[in-house]
Amino acid sequence: MAFVIGFAGKGGTGKTSLAALTIRYLNERRKGPVLAVDADSNACLNEALGLEVHATIGTLREDSLESVRSGGERPGGMSMEQLFDYQVSQSVIEAKGFDLMVMGRPEGPGCYCAANNIIRKYTDKLADDYPYVVIDNEAGMEHLSRRTTHKVDILIVVSDPTAKGIKTAKRINGLVDELKLEVDRRAFIINRTQGEDENIRNAASEVGIEVTGLVPQDPLIFDYDLKGKPVMELPADSVSVTSYFAILDSLKIP
């Protein structure tokens, strides 16, 4: 059974960067391998990991539906479900120490529910092959209301040091209870801080989750983003890596 770590939080808090660093941590400190799942319709975890995406769950679904509508032939007499299983397995991007599955978005307008259901199904299906699964969810709380995040060992709620970020974290924490999601532990991380700030901790105390740690603002992350370099490759002594790895150590991930 895989140990599942999920991420939630307001957009722009650096959630995806922390998800990428979590994958690196599990590779370096826990010896992976890791199944990384980008459950954000605006996929960008691959950029943080330094990978190119050749297929997403959303586009595969659209292609399959178009094939059915056009009466296209299926190779080897496979059923549509068998063909889709095969296509999904082929879409998983393999890298050193981890594999990546990307939800993406449907080509046309409409609800993302189907794509969410598919990513949930295949996350469950593939998880047995990995000791760790890291799920980077989309901004806000939509993924929680659609139950993309479920059966999670640790849900890491990320905020920046702003009132909006902290209020979103509070709503996320309440929604986990309201939906009775299967979340074993919750961690609350405030990212991009500028030194210890008692006001931040006081505001964060209303979230309902104790602050697990603060990750200082790291100019190297902005530099890497600007140059298109993956944050996965940040120097081991960078402030974000050292502070965040210490937080993950404190979570005692098995």
Class of domain 3-250: alpha beta
DSSP 35-89: EEEEE-SS--HHHHHT------HHHHHHHHHHHHHHT---GGG--HHHHHHHHHH
Q: Mean pLDDT in the chain?
A: 85
Spell out the domain ranges in the chain: 3-250
Strand order in the sheet with 152-159: 93-95, 98-102, 34-39, 132-137, 3-9, 152-159, 183-193, 211-216
Q: Which amino acid is at 2?
A: A
Q: Three-state SS for 34?
A: strand
**pLDDT band at residue 254, thresholds of 50, 70 and 90?**
very high
Dihedral of alpha carbons 142, 146, 148, 149, sign: positive
Residue range 4-18, pLDDT digits in tens: 999 999 989 999 999
Residue range 49-88, pLDDT digits in tens: 999 988 887 777 666 655 555 556 555 666 666 766 777 7
- From residue 165, give the alpha-carbon distance in Å to each of 64, 68, 74, 96: 38, 43, 47, 33
